[in-house]
Each structure stands twice: as C-alpha cells, then as structure tokens.
Amino acid sequence: MNRRERAVFVISVAAELAGMHPQTLRIYERKGLIEPFRTPGGTRRYSQEDIDRLALIQELTEQGLNLEGVKRIMAMQAEIEHLRGKIEALESELSRTRAEMRSQAQQIHQSYRHEIVLRSEVLPEVRRNRNR
C-alpha cells in the first residue's frame, strides 16, 4: 500500500486523533516535523503513521524539548532505522558469502582427494625404480 492509500485522515480528524489543534499540525508541517500527503487539490491527508509521529512529537515536547530538538531526535531515529536496515542487509550478505566460501572450500578439499596418492600405492613403484 502506498503513502497515498494510507493517508486517509483530513486535518481535523488527524488533529483530534493526536489530541492537538489543527493549527498545531500546520505549524509542525511548516517546521518540517511532519509531511502529510497532499491531494491534487492541495488538501492534507494524514496516515496512521503520521498520527503516531504526532504522538511522538507531543511526548517529546511534554518532556521539555523544543521543536528543533524534536526534529533532531526524529532525524537521528530515521538514521538509526536506515543503518539498522543496512546492517541487516550486510549481515545477510555476509551469511551468503560465508556459505558460498564453505561450499567452495569443500569442493576444493574434495578435489584434493582425487589427487592424493597413497604411499602404499607409490612405494612398490619406487622400489622397482631403485632396483634397476
């Protein structure tokens, strides 16, 4: 589901769900704390994700942070999520690479077995060559 399909709440409903005044949502948008979806006519539409974000903003401001502090915390949270995603991708790639390396090492070791000549097989031939 894309952002447009998830953005179903008009500003008055979103404000009520978040326990805020609609003007507060407009201020948060101007400050870059929230970015609601806009219809072709320019109407703001908010998703549940936006409502959750508004709740976080409210929680942080109630703890004494100003809006710039809230913005920084939210930017850091977004960066943490981005980095977690990268870590997961790298761990997955590492796992695949390790499995490939194990498989290749196993194939190499198996190829050695075909090249190994037992001493008991070579020894009679060496003795014959010495006696000549």
pLDDT digits (tens, 9 = 90+) for 98-109: 999 999 998 888
pLDDT, mean over the chain: 88
Picking from 46, 2, 56, the residue whose alpha carbon sits closest to that of residue 26 is 46
Number of domains making up the chain? 2
Q: What is the pLDDT of residue 7?
A: 85
Does residue 17 register a pLDDT over 80?
Answer: yes
Say if CB 54 and CB 28 are below 8 A apart: yes
Q: What is the CATH number of the domain that holds 12?
A: 1.10.1660.10
Residue bearing tokens 């409502």:
51
Residue 33 domain boundaries: 1-64
State the pLDDT at residue 114: 67
Q: How far is CA 112 from CA 46, 105, 115, 117, 125, in A?
A: 65, 11, 5, 10, 22
> What tokens does 49 get?
């994700």
Residues 50 and 74 occupy one common structural domain: no
If asked whether residues 41 and 29 sit together in one domain, one would say yes
pLDDT one-digit tens code per residue, 66-95: 999 999 999 999 999 999 999 999 999 999
Same domain, 56 and 70: no
Last residue of a domain, which of 64, 90, 111? Answer: 64
Same domain, 1 and 17: yes
- Its pTM surpasses 0.75: no
Distance of CA 116 to the CA centre of its chain: 48
